[in-house]
Homo-oligomer: A and B are copies of this chain.
Amino acid sequence: MIIILKDNPEEKQLENLIAWLKSMDLDIHFSQGENTTILGLIGDTSAVDIDLINALDIVDTVKRVQEPYKNVNRKFHPQDTIVDVAGVKIGGGNFQIIAGPCSVESRDQVCQIAKDVKAAGANLYRGGAFKPRTSPYAFQGMRSEGINLLLEAKKESGLPIVTEVMDLSHLPLFEDVDVIQVGARNMQNFELLKELGHLNKPILLKRGLSSTLQELLMSAEYIMAGGNENVILCERGIRTFETATRNTLDLAAVPLLKTMTHLPIVVDPSHATGIAHLVKPMAMAAAAAGADGLMIEVHNDPPHALCDGAQSLTPEAFTDVVKAVNAILPHAYKG
């Protein structure tokens, strides 16, 4: 961390600052220019509060040199992490497609789509039991019953399941779930992240609507700091001024995250665009850019889906996407 002081810092305040920094076991490299005094902090600065130092009268600016994350940092863990989901590997060259309906609606629906997406080439099955909905009057998901139906679909299809948790009090219901998904709105639900850190189960962490990549990594750091190393990141679009698509898919995040972290990164083109006919080209683009997987909404009857129908594919359309993605994969960016 580099602290640039204002011109002619008050002597006493400077002493206080230095004493305080030393109390945090930091060495200080002092460098005095004509007008500018610079303090270089040497040691582990990940716990130093940059805003606090910025608030001091004598400080002009503060700049981190080290990243504020450790466990997720590729610098300290150069190999790709490979997350093993009931034998299905993601990351480190293993590309997987997670597919399924936005929300679980019935036993027939959930089992039928599981078979359909498996036949089309999906390796993981997703479905929403708990649904975060903007309106209190919209369908809120089948909740615990939905999880049971997903587990039945797993038994029938053999596909491991991915489903979203909305509150930490529901975690006991997720015992047999293979991957717990943290939705965009919960990316900074820190109490939930801490709990997930104590599980020994893969977590799929979606980027928040207005979260920076660094914030996404800090949230993954919360989970890893608790001891759970099985984190899969998911880019699913950010909120911008453009309203032609539901969100703006930030695909450059994929290769950039790969330089920052060793964790696998999947892309959700369905939520990112909100438009069914954009799922295919964006899935292909994500594969080309080096993503470790995709998360795609598939519904046997999109117009009657109880939520997010606008972005769902039929099993036929999904089959076509899988083929197109598989043709791209051998030529994809490897980093």
Contacts and interface: CB of A to CB of B under 8 A. Distances in A.
A282 interface: yes
Interface in A1-26: 2, 4
A173 interface: no
Interface stretch (A56-64, A107-115, A150-158): A56-64
Nearest to A248: B250
B290 A281 contact: yes
A320 to B, nearest CB: 11
Q: How many copies does the complex hold?
A: 4
Interface stretch (A46-54, A77-85, A91-99, A118-126): A46-54
Interface stretch (A34-42, A174-182, A198-206): A34-42
Contacts of A312: 55
B241 A212 contact: yes
Contact of A65 (B36, B221, B282): B36
Chain A interface extent, by class: 35 or more
Contact of A309 (B4, B51, B244, B302): B51
A284 B36 CA distance: 35
Contacts of A327: 331
A301 B177 CA distance: 48
A185 B2 CA distance: 30
15 contacts: A29-B31, A47-B137, A166-B190, A167-B189, A169-B169, A185-B188, A210-B210, A212-B243, A238-B241, A238-B242, A248-B252, A252-B273, A255-B277, A285-B288, A324-B333
